[in-house]
Each structure stands twice: as structure tokens, then as C-alpha cells.
Amino acid sequence: MNKKYEKYLPLGSVVILKDAKKKLMVIGYATIDVNKRDKVFDYVGCLYPEGVISTNQSILFDHSDIEKIFCIGFSDDEQKEFSKKLISTLTEDNIQSLLNKAKEANLES
């Protein structure tokens, strides 16, 4: 694993998860499973090289699930700053607050 990116790889990064057979491309961050609403995942990805075929085929996963990084996506100062903000914003308290709001929204719908 690339130690430079201990969390939040740039968009477009291509990885394979532990015990997986298919590569994924990172397409987003800090996503809540809309069905369970009990966890914030580090990443949302799509199959590589297919890309997003359908919105219900997104794969949620955490950085710790990554077995190998094949390609690191585009990174510039803007991406690096965004990654720093993600890390500082997504504290345990903030994550719990997000989950509580998601659960409340689920109860209201």
C-alpha cells in the first residue's frame, strides 16, 4: 500500500479490495449506505474499466479494505487541500452527527 495516501486517494484512483477479483475506481468520498444509514464509508467506487453503468451499482468501501493500489488519480493542490479538509472534518463526533441526521431523514420519509 502506498503510505503517502493513508486515507482518501484522489478521484480516479484504481484499486482492488481484499478478496476481490475486480478492480474499482474511486469516484467519491464519505458516503452513507442509503439502506442501512449506520456507517460512513471512506469511498464510493465503480467497476473498472466499465465505469458507472447504473447508479445502484456503486460500491462503498473503506481505505482498510484496499488490498492494492494500481493507479493513483490526478492530484493537485486543490485535491490535496480537499483531502486535508476531509480528514479534519470527518471526526468521530461529526460522523456520528451525519449518521443521526441520515437516520432521522429515513424516519421522516
Q: What is the pLDDT along the chain (109 residues), one digit of tens a residue?
A: 545 567 899 999 999 999 999 999 999 998 888 777 778 899 999 999 999 988 788 999 999 999 999 999 999 999 999 999 988 888 777 777 777 777 777 655 5
What DSSP string describes 3-59?
A: TT-SS-PPTT-EEEETT-SS-EEEEEEEEE-TTT-S-EEEEEEEETTT--S-GGG-E
| pTM of the complete model | 0.81
State the amino acid at position 104 in one-letter form. Answer: E
Q: Is the sign of the CA dihedral 76, 78, 82, 88 positive or negative?
A: positive
Q: Give the three-class secondary structure for 71.
A: strand
